[in-house]
Chain A
Amino acid sequence: MRRRIPTLLSAALLLTTAGCAISEGGPNSLVFASYGQGAYQAGQRAAWLDPYEQQTGTTVTIDGPSSNAKLKAMVEAGKVTWDVVDTDASAAAAVCGSLLEPVDMGAQAAGFPEGSLTDCGVPDAFFGMMLMYDSKVYGKNPPAKLADFFDPKQFPGRRIIYGGDPSVGTIEAALLADGVPRDKLYPLDMRRALRMYDRIRPQLSITSTYGDQQQRMAGGQADMALIVSARAFSLLKAGATNWKVVPGIPVPVTWDVLVVPKGTARAEEAKKLIRFASQPAQAADFAARAGVGPANTAAPAARSEIGRQLDIWGEGKEDLRVLSNVRYWAANRPALVKAWSDWTTG
């Protein structure tokens, strides 16, 4: 037994290091890095990558999960194995030029909502920060406005939010709930937002992944939630129908972007793929499959019943959408994330 342990260990080591060497594609292949499994990545595969492969003969491999830290490490090490990466808009804007290639969208640029396209990041999915509640818990007296989330007296119950990244609308939602007008949100008053969260601290669970948040909501571990629409979509699709969206309230909107890491040998091919995915038909197809807002406003979105509940572009929603100020977030990200993580761990 003792003799075999070193052998086993070295075998295990060999296997793991062999696994690290992800196949690097040749000139006719691209690596696309995105998040996890589920409706989101499956939607990208079906709406963009499969048609792109058929049209161009380029093989597209999916890798993941997308990670800004891994992206940074790759670029700095000069060994970039990702060609197109799906990441959040403000993080991308913060490292534009240093870690990311600029992407010129030409005439297609007009298709994106104002202020959403940045030099390096091409929007591919819009998310609303939705207020949801368990209808079994609240019955006839459900929460009806953002402020109700921060009012544990009128609306007792456990709250759950995703705490990994405060830039997804977490801060904006608290400020809107506290009565800050939507055009006065920026610069963000972080202390005011944290004072709002102080009110519900004993009732608040914070998860470090979206998957965990989804899991806990489905498992009845929370009664009320602020959750991004794509995750709400997966949750409802999986059958957690006791969860309802509070309609008619302001919705902070953030988005993901497609980026090209600096130093990839196939940058031009990668940009071609991004332009392809941004066409109205592809954008709409993906939006319908993943339950996100389509990136291209020219896209007519066919929506399922669940999709309509979570739709942020639909009719009569113009006054409810509060688009994130990506440039503000990019410039102030370290300080804001620090303040947020100090509050959560403190």
Chain B
Amino acid sequence: MTAVATRPPATGQAGPEKRRTSWLLLPAAAVVLVFFFYPLAVILWRSFSEPSFGVGNYLAVLGDEVQIRVMLRTLRTALIITAATLVIAYPYAYAMTLVGRRARTVLTLLVLMPFWTSLMARNFAWYVLEQRGGVIEKALSAIGIDGVVLLGSVAGVTVAMVQVMLPFMVLPLQSSMLSIDRSLLHAAGSLGARRPVAFLRVYVPLSMPGVLAGVSVVFIMSLGFYITPALLGTPQQALVAQVIGTQVNDLLDFAGAGALGTILLVVTLVVLAVLSRVAAPLGTSAAGGADRG
């Protein structure tokens, strides 16, 4: 729960205490084992064993033009969502580190508010906003852009998903930024760097652990998102989770859906691996990164 650490992590936690409390992880590990790894193993097994042993299901997915197109669409959408979330969250998180305590509480509350609202309620709110004759279309036509109906389009799904994902970007960013020593900026200034240069060359690199944490969480969650695209999008712009849904619900093809799911998982793991590769050198240069929360 990196995301919840709003204060800089307490430094110098003693080793023995860690050892003494590590058994607390056991229930969590048991839950993950039973409710995550076991079903995952079953899905994997079925994807290789039904209807006959082998990699038939995987070849079917990889040889299917539509499935590949959906997969690429999903990756592209997740990428756009991640980028948009980062662009919005970065200045917001930065502002959170500058303002006083009270204002920060307000900003934190604003970020956390979506967490406390039901996902369905939020999706239906977007549904109403994005539909024809809705607030968004009316507001845009008031400034001369007519006929923008976001409901049932990738753009509409993206807007709603960015809102859902914002807290997952803001919180790691902010926790990483809080640990940056701002006197480094003054030091850069005293050495002749103008403020934008100091910000770009000193502050931004130091905030990279937070950026990477946020980016990986948001990107990976976006890859498997189901409800928002199902409600606000259409089958015409289906993302991979919906295709898996069709295979399970309409075709009862658990093995084929398992294969598609496994491919999604592998893609996710590859993304994670790449990101952690990038993050490894950064983690040491920025003291007290987000991963310490």
Residues of A within 8 A of B (CB): 1-2, 5-6, 10, 13, 67-69, 72-73, 91, 95, 163-165, 204-208, 212, 215-216, 219-221, 333-334, 337-338, 341-342, 344-346
A208, B230: Cβ atoms closer than 8 Å: yes
Contact of B4 among A1, A73, A221, A338 (CB under 8 A): A1
Bound together, the chains give a CA A207 to CA B242 distance in angstroms of 12
- A10-B27, A69-B249, A345-B70 are contacts. A208–B242 as well, Cβ < 8 Å? yes
Distance A205 CA – B151 CA, assembled complex (angstroms): 10
Which of B28, B133, B234 makes the CB contact (< 8 A) with A206?
Answer: B234
Say yes or no: B252 contacts A69, CB within 8 Å: yes
Report how far A190 CA is from B69 CA in the complex, Å.
22
Tell me the complex Cα distance, A165–B251, Å. 10
Interface residues in chain B, defined as those with a beta carbon under 8 Å from any beta carbon in chain A: 1, 4-6, 24, 27-28, 31, 66, 69-70, 127, 131-133, 151-152, 230-231, 234-238, 242-243, 246, 248-254
Q: Is the CB of B234 within 8 A of A221?
A: no
| CB atoms of B248 and A69 under 8 A apart | yes
Which residues of B lie under 8 Å from residue A338 when comparing CB positions?
Answer: 251
What residues on A are CB-neighbors of B236 within 8 Å?
204, 206, 344-345
Let me know if B131 and A219 touch, CB within 8 A: yes
Residue of B nearest to A10 (CB): B27
Chain A residues, CB < 8 A from B243: 341, 345
Q: Contact at A5–B4, with CB atoms within 8 Å? A: yes
Taking each of A204, A333, A346, which has the highest tally of chain B beta carbons within 10 Å of its own beta carbon?
A346
Chain A CB within 10 A, most for which of B1, B66, B133, B252: B252
Given A205-B152, A334-B251, A342-B66: A2 in contact with B234 (beta carbons within 8 A)? no
When distances are taken between beta carbons in the complex, the residues of chain B under 8 Å from A95 are 252
Chain A residues positioned under 8 Å from B69 (CB to CB): 345-346
Q: Which residues of A contact B237 (CB under 8 A)?
A: 345
Q: A68-B249, A72-B252 are in contact. Are A341 and B28 (CB under 8 A)?
A: no
Q: List the B side residues contacting A6 at CB < 8 Å.
A: 1, 24, 28
CA distance A67 to B243 in the complex (A): 16
> Which residue on B lies nearest to A72, using beta carbons?
B252
Residues of A within 8 A of B6 (CB): 1
In the assembled complex, the Cα of A344 lies from the Cα of B151 at a distance in Å of 17
Please report the C-alpha to C-alpha distance between residue A324 and residue B228 in the assembled complex, in whole angstroms.
33
Q: Are B4 and A344 neighbours in the complex by a CB distance under 8 Å? A: no
A345 touches B31 (CB 8 A): no
For residue B64, which residue of chain A has the nearest CB? A342
Task: Name B27's closest neighbour in chain A (CB-CB).
Answer: A10
**Distance in Å: Cβ of A300 to nearest Cβ of chain B:** 36
Residue numbers in A under 8 Å from B253 (CB-CB): 334
Task: Give bound CA distance, A5 to B4, whole Å.
Answer: 9
Query: Which of A165, A204, A205, A212 is within 8 Å of B250, CB to CB?
Result: A165
Contacting residues, chain A, for B131 (C-beta < 8 A): 216, 219, 221
- Residue of A at shortest CB range from B248? A69
Chain A residue numbers with a CB within 8 Å of B132 are 219-221
B123 to chain A, nearest CB (A): 11
Whether A344 contacts B235 by the Cβ 8 Å rule is yes
Are B234 and A207 in contact, with the CB atoms below 8 A? yes
Give B56 Cβ to nearest chain A Cβ, in Å.
14
Complex Cα gap A67–B31 (Å): 27
Q: Give min CB distance, B139 to chain A, whole Å.
A: 18
A1 to B131, CA, bound (A): 39
Cα distance A341–B24 when bound, in Å? Answer: 47
* Distance A80 CA – B173 CA, assembled complex (angstroms): 47
Asked if A2 and B4 sit within 8 Å, CB to CB, the answer is yes
Closest to A71 in B: B252
The 8 Å CB contact of B151, one of A10, A221, A342, A345, is A221
State in angstroms the CA–CA spacing of A208 and B132 once bound together. 19
Cross-chain contact B1 with A2 (CB below 8 angstroms): yes
Shortest Cβ distance from A132 into chain B, in angstroms?
A: 18
| Distance to closest chain A CB from B142 (angstroms) | 19
* Contacts A221-B132, A345-B70, A346-B69 given; does A212 touch B238 at CB 8 Å: no
A341-B235 CB under 8 A given contacts A67-B249, A69-B252, A72-B252: yes
Task: Tell me the minimal C-beta distance from B65 to chain A in angstroms.
Answer: 8
